[in-house]
Amino acid sequence: MKNKKSFWLTCLLVGVISLSAMAPEKFLIAQTREEGPWWPSPHGVQDQAGASNYVTPQKILAALQIPVTGQTYELGHMYEPSMPLYGPRPYFLQVIPPLPPTSGEGGISNSEYFSGFIGQMGTQFDGLAHQGGNVQMGDGSFQSVFYNGFSVNDLFGKNRGLGGVEALGVEQMKPFITRGILIDIAGYKGVEALPAAYEVTLEDMRGALARQGMNSNDIEQGDAVFFNYGWSINWDNPSKYNDSYIGVGENEGSPGIYADIVRVLIERKISLVGADSCCVEVRPRPGVENVHRMLFLRDGIPMLENMELRGLAADEVYEFLFIGLPERIKGATGSPMRPIAIR
C-alpha cells in the first residue's frame, strides 16, 4: 500500500511540474486599472495605434529617399481558394455571370459575393486586438488585458463583438510607409528553406545581418523588419506550409523567431515585424513565451504573416521603401494587406 501511495504521489508531483512548465506565462501584477506592467503606453493613455506611431512624417520622408531604381516587389501572396487556410477558416468567392443580351442597347456589370475570415487568411496583418494576456490585479482578481491596458469590457462591453471590437480595431493603425529591412535567414544558412519547427536564434539573426553588411544597431526606430525563412516555397502545399494541424499529413510545424529576437526588436522600437510563414514565430513553440503577446501587449507592435520574400532575397535587396496599408475595417482584429517594396 505504501508503495502504491508513493507511486501516485510521484505521479502527482510530475503532473504539477509538467503543468508548471506548460503554464502560459508567469502571472503579471497590475497595481491598478490605470497602471500595469505594460501600460500606460508611452504614446498616450488612450493610444490605440501602438508602434505605428513611430511612422512619423519625418520617417516617411526619409523612407521615400531610399528607392533608386523604382523596381517594385510584391511581398504578399494572391488570395485564392487553394491558399493555405489556417484551421477551418473558409474562403468563398463567387461572381454571378451576366445574362445574355436581349438587344443592342445597354451593357453589363459584375459584382461578387465573398465569405471568409478576411482579416485572418492569406497575407494577413495582425492588429492589436488579436491577442491579449492575463494579469493579476491589485485586489487579487485576474483580468484579460490588451495593449495599453484595454480590457475585454473595453473591446466587447457594449455590443459583445457585433460589428467588431470597440477598441483597438485595425482602423486605428496608421499607414506603414517606412524603411523596410529584410533579414535573410535562409540565405545566411545556405538553404532554400529552413526546416519545419526551426527556431531562428539571435546568433542566426546577427549572422544574417553581418552577411548583409549590417548589425542590429542598423535597425532604426519605425522600421518594418521582415525575416525570410524561405518557407513560402511550400505555399502550394497547405499541409506542409502549416494549416494548423501539426502532426497531420506533412505538417511538422513551421520555422520562426522566438523570444530573444523579439526583445531586440522591441528595444529597437520597430513599427512592424513580418515573415514568410503562418505565424512569424516558430511553431510549435519551444517554450512558454508567446511572441504574439510579447509584441502586441507590451509595445503594440503588429505582425504581418504569410509574406513572399524570395524575390527580395534573390536580388539581395535588404533595405527598401516599404508600403503596407491595412484595410480600415472598423472593429476588425486583422486585415488583408498588399505589401510592396520599392528599391
Position 115 in a domain = no
Position 239 in a domain = yes
Do 195 and 156 meet the contact criterion of CB atoms below 8 Å apart?
no
pLDDT score recorded for residue 7: 34
Position 54 in a domain = yes
From CA 125, how far away is CA 156, in angstroms rounded? 21
Position 311 in a domain = yes
* C-alpha cell of residue 218: 542598423
- Write out the chain's pLDDT in tens, 343 residues: 434 333 333 333 333 333 233 333 444 555 565 788 889 999 999 999 999 999 999 999 999 999 999 999 999 999 999 999 999 999 999 998 888 887 777 787 888 888 888 888 999 999 999 999 988 877 888 888 999 999 999 999 988 989 999 999 999 999 999 999 999 999 999 999 999 999 999 999 999 999 999 999 999 999 999 999 999 999 999 999 998 999 999 999 999 999 999 999 999 999 999 999 999 999 999 999 999 999 999 899 999 999 999 999 999 999 999 999 999 999 999 999 999 999 9
Position 110 in a domain = no
Position 153 in a domain = no
User: Phi and psi (nearest 5°) for 283?
Assistant: -130, 130
CATH number at residue 217: 3.50.30.50
Position 261 in a domain = yes
Domain around 251: 47-83+122-130+168-342
Question: Into how many domains does the chain fold?
Answer: 1
Position 331 in a domain = yes
